[in-house]
Structure 1
Amino acid sequence: MTLYIVATPIGNLDDITLRAIDVLKRVDLIAAEDTRHSGLLLQHLGIKAKLFALHDHNEQEKSQILIDKLKAGLSIALISDAGTPLINDPGYHLVKACRDNQIKVVPIPGACAAITALSVAGLPSDKFCYEGFLPAKSKARQDSLLTLINETRTMIFYESTHRLMDTLNDMQAIFGVDKPIVLAKELTKTWETIVSYRVGELIEWLNEDVSRQKGEFVLIVEGHSKIDNEITPNVINTLKLLQKELPLKKAAAITAEIYGLKKNQLYQVGLTLEK
């Protein structure tokens, strides 16, 4: 009666531990995010196992079925399409249900795109925060970035091909053109690419060749430094209030004078708020 949380490769199929292979061979059932995708990995490993579909759209409904099987004495492995389950992947409801029912949960560690990217980024790694995917809609994404404007820890984001440039443009507007950022693309795969730029330079580099904008991305963003100009929530609120009564240029200039900040930076933030 054990649920195993098994990390699988994020690209290179050889990046799987001997322990993970052993567990996947021994369990009675494998719960997978995408049974067809996971079937290819299991075929590569020479594992014939019964698969059970558990994804974002059915997890709450299907978790009880798995709990009943576990209570009946079955052992189950949970895997995602790639990397460590629950890290921006399904599994939370199942693990919580296991804990609530005193069912043993065992981690089988391995690949994780966020940690893999952080390990080679060359940015501070003693303290970091994982933000996953930012909201898809521009306003919500900008609001999320505004809450992180004074985050001192290194920040880790995931992003998709179709939203990459919009996210970077919003980061440039909120964090400033000179914010250090590392882009890790297609980690462990044939076309793995890891580059380090200022956010404005990164946008230029990506625009030079649109093929660079395709793939699965991890963005590692340097945290706020005390050397930087401090844009606090109070600054943002002041700018918002002034924007209601004044043109943006004037509102930014007055806010900059009040708080001793650079008006150009506040002007860029104001443009984002106006959107």
Structure 2
Amino acid sequence: MLPIGGYFPDKLDPQAPAQVAVVTPSLMRASIRTALESVYAQDLQGRIQLVIGADLNPTDTEHVYAALADRPDHVSAVVLTLPYSTSQRHGGVHPAWDGGALRTILSFMANARHVAYLDDDNVWTTDHLSSLLAAVQGRHWAYSLRLLLDEDTGDELGVDRWDAVGPGKGRFKDQGGMVDPNCLLLDKVLCAPALWQWSDPGPKLKRLEADRRIAATLARFPHGEVGRATVRYRIRPTNILRQFLREGTEF
């Protein structure tokens, strides 16, 4: 059994909040290094806190700790590896199959009012955080778009114009719209009533669709948008968005 977690400080008082926290629910894949490097490369000059967690106790985290050792001086990190799963998929109590309550837990753990989300197989452009922070001013949350990549080769396929396109848009517009977590930045104090929904997709959605429930809830809050793709998002060969790209589907 691995330790429950670790703390990787920056040079400032750990009690002082960061300008932004980056929450990464992770399977501890090797690709997490590339994801973290895209955080290190952000043009944001303020303090960044990484909050990384695994819902299943991983067998190897050395590559994660090695990547964290390369972080810049303005980046700190907290790693949480629970000795059990919070998801019903693995015997836990929360309905969401893709991480149980982990994204909710990490969001509240974060020592920053503004929280962004990055999965361990995706990356951001260098201006992702700075552009979202500018867009969220005076609002509850903000979002950007995502550029779809081939899962295996990393080849660019095109900008998602169908799913993660914001409130009232795309093929989920009648359900409030959709924003991918990787594209989000939340004021977690103002959005706190919605954060628990990542742990429960609700009665009308499948066990892997909590993202759609929280997106529909966030659509009721004031929001800003960047209007361009600052997320590089890998998709499988079987993803239906590939068909939409080929056929030029519109909704």
TM-score (norm 1): 0.24
Rg comparison, structure with higher value: 1
Q: Which has the higher helix share?
A: 1
TM-score (norm 2): 0.25
Q: Which has the higher strand share?
A: 2
Say which structure, 1 or 2, has more relative contact order (CA 8 Å, 6+ apart). Answer: 2
